[in-house]
Amino acid sequence: MSKKSLKQTNPYLKDPELRKELIYQSVSSSTAVEGVLTKYPKLSKSAEKKLKEIIAVHESSASYGSQK
């Protein structure tokens, strides 16, 4: 059984353009936590739209347990 990479299995990383922008944001925010302030671009409008679509799909399919 072959293992799949995170890029292949994570829905947020499958789209190359969105992946690039999300990685830039992640690196920038991580360096800020370490005290290195960087200026990084916000997500482009198209990346924001893709991200919202992915989130909507996964939120609707998420199981939060039964409420009784």
Question: What does the pLDDT average to over 52-59?
Answer: 84
* pLDDT tens-digit readout, 4-30: 888 888 888 889 999 988 888 888 888
pLDDT given at position 28: 81
- Give the separation between CA 4 and CA 11, rounded to whole angstroms: 13
Task: Between 64 and 42, name the one with better pLDDT.
Answer: 42
Q: Which two tokens stand for residue 21?
A: 């922008």
pTM exceeding 0.75:
no
pLDDT given at position 64: 55
pLDDT confidence band for 68 (50 / 70 / 90): very low
- Give the separation between CA 9 and CA 17, rounded to whole angstroms: 16
Domain ranges of the chain: 12-58
CB 21 within 8 A of CB 44: yes
